[in-house]
Structure 1
């Protein structure tokens, strides 16, 4: 296996670890996906999520989540890389609503860097393409930018 293929596989693993760590609420694995100064956000709101608090936020709102990530496209250039991947994220609200699910789909645009501990995301742009669910509840939960 070539070094580029090995790097591509390691980078894709970061994307898969991200999804698993959210759904299992594994803070340590979640944080291991990112550089300490990583930016994460939507096109309109960069760095809108405080990474070390985001799993607690999700756990407060949702009893379960499932993030399915596919179609990984990776480009490696030395110790830097970019990755695009598609996602469908299903969220089950803790509170009783007329629609118990909040589901969104779109893609991530990632910039990664090789560190002594392996590949890490230094910038993740979440590009939401569609959303289903109770839009008022989504907005009230502080996620209005997802439904605009």
Structure 2
């Protein structure tokens, strides 16, 4: 049964926004398999210094972030999406925040990047996937964290992996990081 074209457009927009949120969830929670699943079988990601096939980008990005950061957190802003059958284009504003641990007595460092994901998407097997992504830098900032006024005030800490509360709330299982098995084997 064919849907009213307006309803199909709304459904496509919803599914694309869900895809973008899933990408960020996988990246932020250190779930390389979830993040890689947002890319098309043939994909490309141009993320500044890291330009490569999308699923490979997921592996390298998650591996590095788990090794070097305490926190990775994305906030997505407005998306402009244009659907054309089984392909689409999207521009989505974001702010990515990373916290790197201090070394040799220095303070932790807060790095932020504000920009846009400019995506070309494709429907594969009935689901939207990122075929090509360009990460556009609008601004960036880096500064030491001199004080954290909410530390120790009863908030749940962020976690990476199955222990994060989002997995239970969403009924998800952490898909894992296959490269961990290669490193520890």
Structure 2 length-normalised TM: 0.66
Contact 2:40–2:130 (8 Å) recurs in 1: yes
Contact 2:99–2:108 (8 Å) recurs in 1: no
Aligned residue runs from structure 1 range 4-19, under 5 A: 4-19=9-24
Q: Which residue of 1 aligns with 2:129?
A: 120
Alpha-carbon distance between aligned partners in 2 of 1:45 and 1:58, rounded to the nearest angstrom: 13
Once the two structures are overlaid, the 10-residue window that deviates more, 48-57 or 26-35, is 48-57
Report the aligned-residue RMSD.
2.1
Which structure features the higher share of strand residues? 1
Alpha-carbon distance between aligned partners in 2 of 1:30 and 1:114, rounded to the nearest angstrom: 17
Q: Which residue of 2 aligns with 1:102?
A: 111
1:104 counterpart SS class: strand
Aligned residue runs from structure 1 range 1-148, under 5 A: 2-42=7-47, 46-47=51-52, 50-51=56-57, 52-96=59-103, 97-98=106-107, 100-133=109-142
Alpha-carbon distance between aligned partners in 2 of 1:15 and 1:4, rounded to the nearest angstrom: 17
Q: Which blocks of at least 5 consecutive residues in structure 1 are unaligned?
A: 135-148
Judged with a 3 Å threshold, the aligned counterparts in structure 2 of structure 1 residues 64 and 45 are, in CA distance, closer, same or farther, namely closer
Structure 1 length-normalised TM: 0.81
Larger radius of gyration: 2
Q: Which blocks of at least 5 consecutive residues in structure 2 are unaligned?
A: 1-5, 144-185
1:16 counterpart SS class: helix
